[in-house]
Amino acid sequence: MKIISWNVNSLRAREPLIEKIIKTEAPDIFCLQELKILDKEYVENFFNQFSLKTVAETQKSYNGVSVSCKSEIVLNENPLKRLNMTQARNNTVIIKDKNLAILNCYFPNGNPIDTDKFTNKLEWMKLLYKEIEILKKEYEVLLMGDFNVIPDDEDAHDIKKYKNDALAQPESRKEFYKLINLDLIDVFKTTPKKQSYTFFDYKTYKFGKEEGIRIDFFLLSPFLKSKVMKLKVLKEYRDMDRPSDHCPILIDLNI
């Protein structure tokens, strides 16, 4: 089962690249964050032309997430309403025949740190923790998306730039590692080969230079970790015309 996660930073702006990814990578499941569109029917129709069925949480101009999959995959939507009370930030779907819960998330950014935005970020992450704590009692868990957290100093080209940024604050990192302590594995961290950063700012990115941060993740249960066949940051899509500032990330599971 090939799964791709991508913060597209506007569905409409990235449609040509989404089409290219679908045709080139042929994902079984395609999870997007930051759709920036209110029209749920538009999202569903866009993916339907590629024979992908879709569930989406949408919001005008901001946020928004979707999960699209091939028709033979039976998804059962499991809305976690507390995570979408004020903003569209989570899809949770269950694939019962795989005993699998997939959580596609767009974590709050949290900046500036001296405002309610940072408090809300931490509260949202605490709610997510509680939801996963429940799900993992019954299912294998795959948590993915844009976490808006830099877990370790090595996950940034220059961590000093993030001294006053919500992404690298001790409180944000604490909530990230609480998720890890639910027996979830940051799978990119376990690979022998050093992986690319996943976010490159529009103003400073130059292709071939690793001057970014790692904020897009797959966190998965130990059973799923044992089934990983392929793992990759699809960095090439960051260098194409009209890219997102995030790279898609890919995982292929033998399930």
Domains of the chain: 2-253 (3.60.10.10)
Distance of alpha carbon 91 from the chain centroid: 10
The Cα–Cα gap between 161 and 180 comes to: 25
pLDDT for 2 beyond 70: yes
Residue that wins the pLDDT comparison between 84 and 204: 84
With contact defined as beta carbons under 8 Å apart, do 252 and 3 qualify? yes
Question: pLDDT digit string (tens) for 111-154?
Answer: 999 999 999 999 999 999 999 999 999 999 999 999 999 999 99
pLDDT for 175 beyond 70: yes
pLDDT at 73: 97
pLDDT at 3: 98
Q: State which amino acid sits at residue 155.
A: D
pLDDT at 204: 74
pLDDT for 42 beyond 90: yes
pLDDT for 208 beyond 90: no
What mean pLDDT comes out for the span 159-182? 97
- Burial class for 244, CB neighbours closer than 10 Å (0-12, 13-18, 19+): buried
The C-alpha torsion from 67 through 68 and 70 to 72, rounded to 10°, is: 50
pLDDT for 194 beyond 90: no
pLDDT for 195 beyond 80: no
pLDDT at 206: 67
Q: State which amino acid sits at residue 59.
A: Q
pLDDT at 207: 65
What's the pTM? 0.96
> To the nearest whole number, what is the mean pLDDT of the chain?
96
Provide the pLDDT confidence category of residue 203 given band limits of 50, 70 and 90. confident
